[in-house]
Amino acid sequence: MRKYINKLLVLCTLVAPLALVSCETDTDSNPVFHPNEGELVLNNPANAVNNTYDLANSEGIVLTTSQPAYSQDVPLATTYAVQVSLNDIWTNTDEAINFQELTSTYTTARMTVDASEINDAMVELYKAAHNDEAPTAAMPLYMRIRSYVRGGNSSQTYYGERVSNSVMLPSVLASYQAPAITLPTQLYVVGSCVGTAWSTWKPMAPVYGLDGEFYTVIYNDGSAQFKWGTYENDWRGYQGFVAVNDNAGAGVADVDGDNHNIGLTNGGWYVVHITSKINGKAIDYTLNIEPARAFVIGQVCGDKWNDSDPAWEMTAPTSKDGLWESPAFSVARDGELRAYVKVGSIDWWRTEFTVQSTGNLLYRTTDIQNSWSEATSDYATGLQNGQKLYVNFDANTGEIK
């Protein structure tokens, strides 16, 4: 019985923290953890000497390694991580990044290492050592394996960590893949004329059916400045546009020195309309400042559908927090609200909106042939003669009363 007791003590001391096996049962099958015994040997890949690995046209590189003897009794679950280097140096410093460990890990001693992960790591290592220049020719690649057993209460707790020998693949071709260029799916504005000054990132509404185009309505008290971005805290300025078109006489200017804020020197309400276009590996953005005009249309106008009908234009307030007011409704049929911001010469239905039960404005992003009911169930309908629409464009809220 003594040998069983000794074995149980060793198991509880070394293996229990790993939660790999219970110590409650005393049997000969309990594994004993040996963190430092045996070698981890990485084999040279087959055909490595006379072969060029073209990573862009490969699924992966097959590696095989010895199984570490973490237990002399039964195999313990082992994790393998792959490390790559261009110079066979396996230390990283503040001055030089010599190797990378790939993201994917493996649980068998034979693994197909993802070619795209190897490619990306090689490109990053090469650019770091060559002033951000991308590789253009095949080069040697060194690879090694790190093995360990997971345990404890955290997946980041490792036991029995070992590294293998390194092997050299004499000819590996890595290719820099430029990120795919796509048009933005959201733009924002921020500034002294938006919400809480320089804190509120106001989402711009998309122009329906025109990819990469966005608009919003802002008020200028005579000293407005703002920035824009593709996400909150992006902080792009005047210099981020390839062209600026002041179609409203707003007095658009590049202001505030190196901050490059977009300034408007003439007071009033304006539409900020930004377009984007792919130009090679870049996106060209154009800023258009238009006069701000808003209208109601359709059933609340006696079933009139004329674009920019002055009889149904909303009246603008004289402050940022003021309410735009529509003419009194002359309801036809069930009185569904359809309203829009007029943005340059763009058709009204590309920039239309309605009011939700929450009081928020809902801008059109989907196809609507006849009614907002085709896009949502939460929209203003059942309106009556004499009611009006009131809109706060700074907060993007509305009310009908």
Strands 293-297 and 338-342: antiparallel
Give the H or E element holding residue 6: helix 2-14
Q: What is the pLDDT of residue 280?
A: 79
Question: What backbone torsions phi and psi does residue 126 show, to the nearest 5 degrees?
Answer: -65, -45
Q: What is the pLDDT of residue 311?
A: 98
Each residue's pLDDT tens digit, 247-268: 999 999 999 999 999 999 999 9
Each residue's pLDDT tens digit, 160-193: 788 999 999 999 999 877 677 899 999 999 999 9
3-state secondary structure of 32: coil
Q: Which stretches in the chain have pLDDT values below 70?
A: 1-38, 68-76, 150-159, 178
Query: Where are any strands of DSSP class E within 256-337?
Result: 261-264, 268-279, 282-291, 293-297, 324-325
Residue 46 sits at the vertex; the CA angle it makes with 41 and 50, to the nearest 5 degrees, is 125
Q: At 80, list the tokens.
A: 């393998």
User: What is the distance in angstroms between the CA of the first residue and the CA of the last residue of the chain?
Assistant: 89
Q: What span, in angstroms and rounded, lies between the C-alpha atoms of 11 and 23? A: 7
3-state secondary structure of 5: helix
Q: What is the pLDDT of residue 170?
A: 92
Each residue's pLDDT tens digit, 278-315: 997 789 999 999 999 999 999 999 999 999 999 999 99
Q: Which of 41, 23, 43 is nearest to 33 (CA)?
A: 23
Q: What span, in angstroms and rounded, lies between the C-alpha atoms of 131 and 71? A: 47
Q: Which residues contact 318 (CB under 8 A, 6 or more apart)?
A: none
Q: What is the pLDDT of residue 317?
A: 98
Residue 378 sits at the vertex; the CA angle it makes with 374 and 379, to the nearest 5 degrees, is 80
Q: Which of 198, 347, 215 is nearest to 259 (CA)?
A: 198
Dihedral of the CA atoms 52, 54, 58, 63 (nearest 10)? Answer: 50
Q: Burial code of 285-302, b = ≥16 C-beta within 10 A, e = fewer?
A: bebbbbbbbbbbbbbbbe
Question: What backbone torsions phi and psi does residue 343 show, to the nearest 5 degrees?
Answer: -115, 100
Output the pTM of the full model: 0.62
